[in-house]
Structures are given as C-alpha cells and as structure tokens.
C-alpha cells in the first residue's frame, strides 16, 4: 500500500488481467468459450482472416451487444460462407435454444457443442471452435 496526500491505495498491475475481479458474467463467457459482445462484421472478419482455420464447421459464439442472455453463432456452413444463427440461454434450467429461422420456435439443447453440431454443413460434420 502507498499513501499520497492522505489517500491509501494498492498498486495494481493493469497489464495482468488476473489481478482483476471477474464478474460472474465474464466467468460464464470464459468457461464456455463465448466471445464477448462483438458485432457480426468483426466476427465474420475473424472467421475469414485465417484461411487454414476457417474451414467448414469453424464457428464463433458471441454475446449479443444489445440483449442479455442472447447470443449468436457465426459458423462456416459452406465454403467461405459463414451464416449467423440466434441463440438464447435460459439460466434457470441451463438450456440453449437455437433459432434457425426468424419465425422458428427454436430447438432446445443442453450444451453448445450439441447445438453447433445440429447446424447442417455442406459435406462435413466436424466442428472447429475459433476464439
């Protein structure tokens, strides 16, 4: 601890994120390998950035920047063509709901990997997390 003009403060190494208190929300995102709130344009650019890793089945799950407990999965379903699907998380029962169309009532899944596997890919069944 240091004192300057009568104020006590503890120096913090801001370059080391492990020094910061992690919120439950941030802990949840990290544990499930979900990207924080980014837009679709940025997500698509990350998927297209590395041609070797962005093959069929490569996906990013990202938090919606506007609606809590809403997420999106951006997944390469056809050669060099990512698609976006809306996902909703229900914390009370730990269920994920995938909406494949706007008027779809959604399909319920117990975990994100099973949800991602349910999305049809053109000629491939393997998935690749891209975080």
- Mean pLDDT, to the nearest integer, of 46-60? 76
Domains of the chain with CATH codes: 19-129 (3.30.505.10)
Q: Write the pLDDT tens digit of every residue in 67-116.
A: 888 899 999 888 878 899 999 998 889 899 999 877 778 999 999 989 99
What DSSP letter does each residue of 34-91 carry, written as one string?
A: -EEE--HHHHHHHHHH-TTT-STTEEEEEE-SSSTTEEEEEEEEETTEEEEEEEEEET
pTM for the complete prediction?
A: 0.73
User: What is the CA angle 120-103-114, rounded to 5?
Assistant: 35
Round the average pLDDT of the chain to a whole number and report it.
79
């Amino acid at each position: 601890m240091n004192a300057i003009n009568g104020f006590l403060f503890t120096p913090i190494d801001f370059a080391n994120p492990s020094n910061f208190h992690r919120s439950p929300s941030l802990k949840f995102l990290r544990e499930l390998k979900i990207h924080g709130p980014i837009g679709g344009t940025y997500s698509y650019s990350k998927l297209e950035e590395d041609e070797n890793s962005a093959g069929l089945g490569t996906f990013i799950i990202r938090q919606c920047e506007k609606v809590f407990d809403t997420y999106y999965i951006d997944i390469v379903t056809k050669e060099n063509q990512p698609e976006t699907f809306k996902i909703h998380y229900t914390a009370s029962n730990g269920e994920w709901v995938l909406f494949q169309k706007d008027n779809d009532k959604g399909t319920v899944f117990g975990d994100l990997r099973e949800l991602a596997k349910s999305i049809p890919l053109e000629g491939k069944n393997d998935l690749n997390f891209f975080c």
